[in-house]
Amino acid sequence: MKLSIYGKGCKKCDQLTANAQEAAEALGLRVEIEKVTDVNAIIDAGVMNTPALAVDGEVVTEGKVASAQELEKLLKG
């Protein structure tokens, strides 16, 4: 499973990355986490508000730092 974190590398992006890692570990998932900071790549992904998280290329959260618990629910489904 590939998780992509879209953002400019701010504290919110770092927190979203940490929460995604925590959620994946809690579920026992093996994930690859990619940080996307290039503005053009962010726009190409259709992201309008950062930070955002995509799971296997599909944006699932945008414009907020989802908690590890919220992300667990998203990763289960």
Phi, then psi, of 58 in degrees rounded to 5: -105, 120
pTM over 0.85: yes
Show which residues are catalytic: 10, 13
pLDDT along the chain (77 residues), means of 10: 95 97 96 96 96 97 97 91
The predicted structure's pLDDT at residue 46: 96
Q: How many CB atoms lie under 10 A from the CB of residue 18? A: 14
CA pair distance 41, 67, nearest whole angstrom: 24
The predicted structure's pLDDT at residue 32: 97
Q: 3-state DSSP call for residue 13?
A: helix
Measured at the CA of 35, the angle between CA 51 and CA 19, to 5 degrees, comes to 60
The predicted structure's pLDDT at residue 9: 86
